[in-house]
Amino acid sequence: MNENVRKLFRQLADLTPSQREEYYAQRQVPDNLRAELESLLRFDAPPGDSLGGVVESAAEQFLRSHTESPRLPQTGPKPGEDGNGRLE
């Protein structure tokens, strides 16, 4: 492990996954370095917390990759209807 990775690991080890994401974004950490750090950090996580961290990280990545939410179908009465399908 090179010294740069070692230093970053020490800085990131106590951060939550969302704090690490913010750190990577602010400092424009390259994807390959980020992947290496996350791999190391997964092995460093306490056993009881690893599932929560994985879920949180996966959720954040999903949300970032889907910045535009799809349009949901309109529910409720259409304009001019009373809720039973009859025109008002």
Q: How far apart are CA 36 and CA 24, in angstroms?
A: 12
Q: Model pTM?
A: 0.50
pLDDT of residue 28: 93
Residue 26's pLDDT is 94
The whole-number pLDDT of residue 9 equals 92
What is the predicted pLDDT for the residue at 19?
93
Per-residue pLDDT of the chain (88 residues; tens, 9 = 90+): 688 889 999 999 989 889 999 999 999 999 999 999 998 888 776 655 556 767 777 777 777 776 655 565 666 666 666 666 565 5
